[in-house]
Amino acid sequence: MRYRNSRRRTFGASIATVALVLAGCQAGGGDYPAQEITFVVPFSAGGPTDLVTRLIAGPMAEELGVEIIVQNVEGAGGTVAAEQVANAEADGYTVLMHHIGMSTAPTLYPNLAYQPLEDFEMIGLVTEVPMTIIGSPEFEPNTLEELIAYVTDNLDTVTYANAGIGAASQLCGLLFETATGLDLTEVPYEGTGPAMDDLLGNQVDFMCDQTTSTTDDILAGAVKPYAVTTAERLETLPDIPTTEEGGLDLLVTVWHGLYVPADTPQEVVDALNAALVAALQDEDVATELTELGAPPVTEDRATPDAHRSLLEDQIELWRPIIEDAGVTAG
């Protein structure tokens, strides 16, 4: 896979496997952890979920004193990976990083093989990431108003990239459709990493992706930025208007959290949570995430309770929106 800038290249090369064995500095009590831990990422390498995972994996490995392997398990908008972790041993050696898609999947997938609230223990929230609506370098529109007019006039030919039903990019596309009344031609990928590659190569026209993935390309002028999906402009992208400024009723923020299978022992959950908190307080992690518009959550939100509460709220928030839009994965 092609990494588009030095920031991605650094992570892709350096933290595919995080090996830090520091005897005597385990975060938890008991025997855990006694062997390497696998972090399962539900989307492709080089995308925003992968980036956040690899960023925190280094300091978490250091805190836990064992190796952390990052494994990308793509497919079905993140549900393939979530099902795999739901069915894994409840021993803390298989950990899922997932995002907002954990809350939309129960509505999008009527036959979902797991229940987010019942089949997992929550470790804690990680980040909240704004999204950006962006176009390929050669795509004609230059502003959000022009984008909406252009898509309206060229509905049969314009393409919108997403990472499958259940991906944040798919949710953002759905909100775009609801707000504009337009029915987009969607091109699904296994993650927004490969989708961004095709966008940069002018093979798809536009997409909505997380700032952790788009900030560098926007600042480098490599893509056409139309809007940020937040109520206020971002400090990191001060020149990019909000969706509201462009007349689009679309607000969405992507949140990430860590999960282990249900019935994982409390001491294991506590050890992983302590390592997560340490990672989020790591100066390099905090700086990197903040520069990408997605500062780490505060310590009171990096908890199992705050995580569970947000997941419960988000499942209820998105259910009627998705049902009204009539989208399901069959």
Name which of 205, 115, 198, 208 is nearest 159 in CA terms.
205
Residue facing ligand MLT at closest CB distance: 47
- Burial of residue 16, with CB atoms counted within 10 A of its CB: 0-12 exposed, 13-18 middle, 19 or more buried: middle
Which residues in this chain contact ligand MLT in the complex, by CB under 6 A?
A: 43-44, 47-50, 99, 101, 163, 167-169, 191-193
Judge whether 118 and 198 are in contact, CB under 8 Å: no
Taking the complex as a whole, the smallest distance from the CB of residue 176 to ligand MLT amounts, in Å, to: 13
Place of tokens 């919108």: 160
Which amino acid is present at 97? M
Shortest gap between Cβ of 174 and ligand MLT (angstroms)?
A: 12
Whichever of 54 and 66 has its CB closer to ligand MLT, that residue is 54
Report d(CA 313, CA 319) in Å as an integer. Answer: 10
Which C-beta is closer to ligand MLT: that of 188 or that of 265?
188
Classify residue 16 by its DSSP letter: S
Q: How far is the CB of 204 from ligand MLT (least distance, A)?
A: 13
CB 116 within 8 A of CB 318: no
Asked whether the CA dihedral 257, 260, 265, 271 is positive or negative, the reply is: negative
**Min separation Cβ 252 and ligand MLT, Å:** 11
C-alpha neighbours within 13 Å on the C-beta side of residue 53: 30
Q: 229, 230, 131, 247: which is closest to 180 by C-alpha?
A: 247
CA-CA distance, 97 to 65, in Å (whole number)? 20
**Min separation Cβ 46 and ligand MLT, Å:** 8
CB of 134 to ligand MLT, least distance (A): 13
Our CB check for ligand MLT shows the closer of 64 and 250 to be 250
Residue 18: what are its φ and ψ, rounded to 5°? -105, 110
**What's the min distance (Å) between Cβ of 297 and ligand MLT?**
17
Q: How far is the CB of 207 from ligand MLT (least distance, A)?
A: 8
Query: Cα–Cα distance between 20 and 71 in angstroms, integer?
Result: 17
Residue showing tokens 């505060």: 298
Q: Which is nearer to ligand MLT, 48 or 261 (CB)?
A: 48
Q: Which residues of 215-230 are buried (b: 16+ CB within 10 A; e: fewer)?
A: bbbbeeebbbbbbbbb
